[in-house]
Structure 1
Amino acid sequence: MNRWTWLAGLLGLIAVLALVLHQDVGAILAAVQHAGWALLWLLPFHLVPLWLDVLGWRVLLAPRDPEGRAGVAVLLWIAAIREAFNRLLPVANIGGEIVGIRLVKRRGVDGAAATASIVLEVLLTLVNQYLFTALGVVLLIAITRQVGALDSLLFALLASLPLPLGLFWLVRHGQLFARLESVAERILGGRTRLTELINGQRLDQDIRALSTPRWRLLAAGGWQLAGFVVGSLETWLALRLLGFQVSVWDAIAIEAVTQALRHLIFIVPAGLGVQEGGLVLFGSLIGVPVEASLALSLVKRLREIGFGVPALVSWYWVEVRQVRQRPQRQPQ
């Protein structure tokens, strides 16, 4: 973790403490106590949007893994680990993808194919994040009937949509990784372990192969977008358990714009302060009390820990097991 990440995390923590101490801490804890053990339902419920996202990933990977060595169950476990890395550790939302590639390769899937599937999945996630955020802003405008700043935000969001679409086109058709490999060779003065690891030409070929025909991308993107929408029901369920009645549309609006804010300011570890500020800001627009928004953020963080820590422990156990088995495989 570099010093800027440390600083961002410290400022985020200070922002969280300031928000909590400025409000009625007793009311926040009372809301959590009101929900009680029923909050544990959020743990198995989180499997549903994660499973939908994994179905999209499996659609992308299937051409290079027709035997199903990395099937839905395996990918669901890997997706939980990827999410835990990106949500709980200061890895700037990329550490989970690197670990994911490593784990898919261990299932016998070609490394370039595993990397290509995750690259495509991340790009589709970027496009779907734009669409989901736009849906949230539209819902906020419809619910609050405020058109000023929200209308401007929606216009800016739609105006910038060509950026992820252009990046998607460049990765799929522009031989991006082959070009990166060529640049790396010029900088490093020839072939190195790094450029061999990139293997740009092979990676570009696999990306094109996995994204053809187009229905594959549409299917994967559709599963992902469904995961976004279903995942927002966690907010609806959590608020109801906390004793605050909101509609499904309210929950989708809050989740979409708060999630977008957290992804935008990704440098802050675990989104400290970003998630809390977003929930307070956007929740207040539709009438959710500040105490309820902070209680919701606390519950979300408890769910992330309760779901993510076992995933990280399972990954650590697999890594330790692999290390212990290596000497046995070496010839005497």
Structure 2
Amino acid sequence: MKSLPLAIAVFGVAVMVALVAYFGAGAVVGSLLAIGVPGFAAICVIHLGLTAVMGLAWWSLLPGAPPGWVMWARLVRDSGAEALPLSQVGGYVLGGRAVSLGGVSGTRAAASTIVDVTLEFMAQLAYTALGLAWLVRLQPETEVAVPVLIGLGVAVMAAIAFVVAQRRGLNYIDRIARILGEGWVEKTAAGAAALHAALADIYARRGGLWASFCLHLICWIASAIEIWLALHLAGQPLSFGAVLAIESLLYAIRTAAFVVPQAVGVQEGAYILLGAGFGLTPEMSLALSLLKRARDLTIGLPAIGVWQFIESGRVWRRRKAQLQVAAIKMRSRD
């Protein structure tokens, strides 16, 4: 089964390379160079700021947790999802692990991750609806509106079902535990019951839920600033509303293409199709896509490196302590 995501990723990379070759690698590179190193640095800084705000959205669900540590955990989560191949789910695991090192229990870390991802997805639906409305306003004759609206409706129903499952679907855990009796299965059920209790506690804090949702929505809308700035620096400016329409639909397509690791190939094709409707050249659209991937690697790889250093240090200290205890026991026997 692991070979399937790899095969899909390889095919996506081939599509991306083919698109760049077809439209001209020189022209794509020229569009990237027009943005410049200072522009790229500014885009990275903006993205880091948005990541910090998304960390605060997560922190809203974890009262008492250190906000700075939760923001760092959010950076680790995003870095694991974007900078490492075939690891989007692994990013959530890394983020949960990172936030647990800030004094949050593993159960609360897992529960808050589930709720945070749910609220972020719901905010994305609102963002997509806003982008679709703006698209219809700018291009009343567009043929994209109907299929996107249908997909949005399906996604809303899926989100509602997911929330209901989180809040009610685990109420049967206690019954299952009693039926199965003692043993490892009961312990597993007890762990699931603890997760259910943590989820219920988070959902009971309405203020935290609304704060998290609103912060995520603000970040979704503000994320369009990065591409708006890039286009202005490259000499192909678009209005913020036009960029918002492109970006919201792009992320909707990325979400629908979740089986493709990092939406490689899909993102590039979507940018070309969506950008064409607003007068962007294919070369510029490809440059924007590659710019995002370069941004993710520039931020993500160092973050993962720091995370690895922290984890290695913890493992080494724990191992050292174990060796010291073993040495003391041996001396006491002598």
Same fold (TM over 0.5): yes
Q: Which structure 2 residues correspond to residues 1-332 of structure 1 after superposition, within 5 A? A: 2-38=2-38, 39-62=40-63, 66=64, 68=65, 71-91=66-86, 93-175=88-170, 178=173, 182=176, 190-191=183-184, 195=188, 199-330=191-322, 331-332=325-326
Q: Deviations over 1:179-212 (max 9, x none)?
A: 8x949x97xx95159827x711111111111121
Over the matched positions of the two proteins, sequence identity in percent amounts to: 28
Supply the AA of the counterpart residue of 2:69: V
Query: Which segments of 5 or more consecutive residues in structure 1 lack a partner in the other structure?
Result: none
- Three-state SS of the structure 2 residue aligned to 1:161 is helix
SS of the aligned residue for 2:88 comes to coil
- For the Cα contact (< 8 Å) 2:82–2:297, is it kept in 1? no
- How has the CA–CA distance of structure 1 residues 177 and 200 changed in structure 2, closer, same or farther, with 3 Å as cutoff? farther
Asked whether the 8 Å contact 1:283–1:289 carries over to 2, the reply is yes
Is the 2:8–2:260 contact (alpha carbons within 8 Å) kept by the matching residues of 1?
A: yes
My pick for the range that moved more, 223-232 or 123-132, is 123-132
Superposed displacement of residue 323, structure 1: 1.5
Letter in 1 for 2:2: N
For 1:36 and 1:149, how far apart are their aligned partners in 2? Answer: 33
Asked whether the 8 Å contact 1:5–1:90 carries over to 2, the reply is: no
Moved more, 256-265 or 5-14: 256-265
Deviation at 1:307, TM superposition (A): 0.7
Change (3 A) 1:176 1:233: farther
Distance in 1 between residues matched to 2:187 and 2:6, nearest whole Å: 28
Aligned-partner Cα distance in 2 for 1:193–1:242: 60
Q: Closer, same or farther in 2 for the Cα pair 1:316/1:194, shift >3 Å?
A: farther
User: Structure 1 counterpart of 2:208, which letter?
Assistant: R
Q: Distance in 1 between the 2:136 and 2:248 partners?
A: 13
Structure number with greater Rg is: 2
Conserved in 2, the CA contact under 8 Å of 1:177 and 1:203?
no
1:60 is paired with a residue whose SS is: coil
Show structure 2 runs of 5+ residues with no match: 327-334
Q: C-alpha separation between the residues in 2 aligned to 1:91 and 1:322?
A: 26
Q: Distance in 2 between matches of 1:133 and 1:121?
A: 18
| Cα shift at 1:242 | 2.0
Provide, for residues 273-314 of structure 1, a one-character-per-residue CA deviation record: whole Å limited to 9, x for no partner: 011011111111121111110111111111111111111101
Indicate the SS of the match to 2:237.
Answer: coil
Secondary structure at the aligned position of 1:286 is classed as coil
In the TM superposition, what whole-angstrom CA distance separates every residue of 1:200-226 from its partner, at most 9, and x where no partner exists?
111111111112132321111011111
Residue of structure 1 in register with 2:329 after alignment:
none
CA distance in 2, matches of 1:160, 1:303: 28
Question: RMSD of aligned C-alpha atoms?
Answer: 2.3
CA shift, 1:75, in A, is 1.5
- What is the distance in 2 between the residues matched to 1:33 and 1:75? 35
What is the rounded CA distance, in whole Å, between the counterparts of 1:213 and 1:323 in structure 2?
A: 35
Q: For residues 92 and 277 of structure 1, what CA distance do their matches in structure 2 show?
A: 22
Aligned-residue offset at 1:148: 3.4
Total equivalences in the alignment: 321
Measured against aligned partners, the alpha-carbon deviations of 1:46-77 in whole angstroms (never above 9, x if no partner) come to: 12221221111111011xxx2x4xx2221121
Identify which range, 165-174 or 116-125, moves more after superposition: 165-174
For 1:177 and 1:127, how far apart are their aligned partners in 2?
26
The alpha-carbon deviation at position 82 of structure 1 amounts to 0.6
Contact 2:125 2:155 in 1 (8 A): no
